Amino acid sequence: MADTTLMDKLVSLCKRRGFVFQSSEIYGGLGSVWDYGPLGVELKKNVKDRWWRAMVHARDDIEGIDAAILMHARVWEASGHVAGFTDPLVDCRQCKNRFRADDPRIKGTPGQPDAQCPVCGSKGTLTEPRLFNLMFKTFMGPVEEQAAVVYLRPETAQGIYVNYLNVLQSSRQKIPFGIAQIGKAFRNEITPGNFIFRTREFEQMEMQFFVKPGTDAEWFERWREWRMQWHHELGLDPTRLRWHQHGPDELAHYARAAFDVQYEFPFGWQEIEGIHNRGDFDLGRHQEYSGKKLDYFEQATNERFIPYIVETSAGADRVTLTLLVDAYREEEVDGETRVVLGFHPAVAPIKAGVFPLVKKDGMPEVATSLYRDLKRRFPSFYDDSGAIGRRYRRMDEAGTPFGITVDGETTSGRTVTVRHRDSMQQERVSLDQVADYIAERV
Ligand code: ATP
């Protein structure tokens, strides 16, 4: 299967089965903005829930917050986003298309007569590169005046830094400790694309860990290890995960070290999470811009310092795409192609499908009652239409790990058939125990 074909198939499966739809589709769609459908919202929610459990609930040294998307405009001056969060762009005066100045398709130097537009082919129509800020701007209050400009946050991290003191004081944590947050971020990306990989509205799962200077390198290594393990535990193919270390030209000027977790997508190895040793840059800048003291007093040693920060920053949508790509497979079964999303049962949107073999002999009644029981414990789906093989296939495409069939033996012997999505093997399980049987495996 050619790799572009795989993405096309995945996008079409996502639409057909209700994972992901294009935003405002009936109006022709909105560029690089996507909506999650009934299955997609469950899948992405499972990603976020697993992250929250691992980062907040399972640990004593991390607190969660949920900060607002709109923040004081000075935050983005302190963070460097107003000055530095820019891409150089060129416009074609002829066809009105806009490109990144470093677009490899541009021949010649933009702004010069020899430069050629990669779309309409005109010569000398490309403007000089101009800086374009990636932050979405809006206005707060009734008058659209400069004083009231606010930005939609381009990352969630700043909501954590500005609440560092509030959380420290209210939670009675001591350094080292972390603050975690999941939330929307917005970037007016110039070259968005690859489905939900790079979008203009997306969700981040970020954690900032505050440490004593000098212990940062050690914490950085620990966090690298823990985060990679988390991706493995999602069930992703370990041979498609690797580290990419930022070289000197990629590293932000304040960063002490940065590694990306990369996944091998059909369009190449790409970042899904970044782990950064940010030094004292963030709290230092907020102290400077806000005038509020943000240093930490360590009682044990009588020392005062601005904590260093180790950041882990993952995209919920990128991880969701990773799960979809990793899970997608096609198999030949009895001369037919079967499409399977082989999710780890813990992330699968629906855990069990319940099917009465036929719509008579008391089977629908038993199946409905079983379905009601299961649905109280985990997402389940009832399907009584079409041949049983077709019902299994529909569940394979949705990534449902277990199919439960109520048949003639259920009414006489009180057992059901449990059919496993990946092996297609079937086994008989007692009707009374099937809910526990599945709960244990999801
Ligand atoms: P990229 O180089 O891919 O644009 P980045 O280095 O700018 O990413 P960060 O600012 O480190 O990304 O953001 C952390 C994480 O947030 C990324 O690893 C990614 O998972 C997610 N993310 C960033 N930008 C987007 C986007 N436009 N769409 C979806 N997810 C994103």
Ligand 1 neighbourhood includes 183 CB (under 6 angstroms): no
Q: Could you tell me if the CB of 271 is within 6 A of ligand 1?
A: yes
The runs of H, that is alpha helices, within 314-387 are 316-327, 363-377
* Contact yes or no for 432/374 (Cβ under 8 A): no
CA 62 / ligand 1 centre spacing (Å): 23
Is the CB–ligand 1 distance for residue 32 below 6 Å? no
Evaluate: CB of 224 within 6 angstroms of ligand 1.
no
Per-residue pLDDT tens listing for the chain (442 residues): 556 699 999 999 999 999 999 999 999 999 899 999 999 999 999 999 999 999 999 999 999 999 999 999 999 999 999 988 887 889 898 888 888 888 888 999 999 999 999 999 999 999 999 888 899 999 998 887 767 899 999 999 999 999 999 999 999 999 999 999 999 999 998 777 799 999 999 999 999 999 999 999 999 999 999 999 999 999 999 999 999 999 988 898 899 999 999 999 999 999 999 999 999 999 999 999 999 999 999 999 999 999 999 999 999 999 999 999 999 999 999 899 999 999 999 999 999 999 999 999 999 999 999 999 999 999 999 999 999 999 999 999 999 999 999 999 998 899 999 999 999 999 999 999 999 999 999 9
- Cis before 176? omega within 30: yes
**C-alpha closest to that of 91 among 80, 77, 78, 101:** 101
Please give the distance, rounded to the nearest whole angstrom, from the Cα atom of residue 116 to the centre of ligand 1.
30
Task: Specify the pLDDT at position 148.
Answer: 85
Whose alpha carbon is nearest atom 20 of ligand 1?
Answer: 315
What phi, psi does 187 have (nearest 5°)? Answer: -140, 130
Structure letter (DSSP) for residue 200? S
In the prediction, which pLDDT does 250 show? 87
Q: Is the CB of 322 under 6 A from ligand 1?
A: no
Q: What's the confidence (pLDDT) of residue 3?
A: 66
Q: What letter represents residue 152's amino acid? A: L
The pLDDT assigned to 329 comes to 97
CA distance 316 to 205: 6
CB 324 within 8 A of CB 19: yes
- Contact criterion met (CB below 8 Å) for 287 and 294: yes
pTM, entire model: 0.92
CA distance 242 to 240: 7
pLDDT, residue 100, reads 83
**CA–CA separation, 221 and 111 (whole Å):** 46
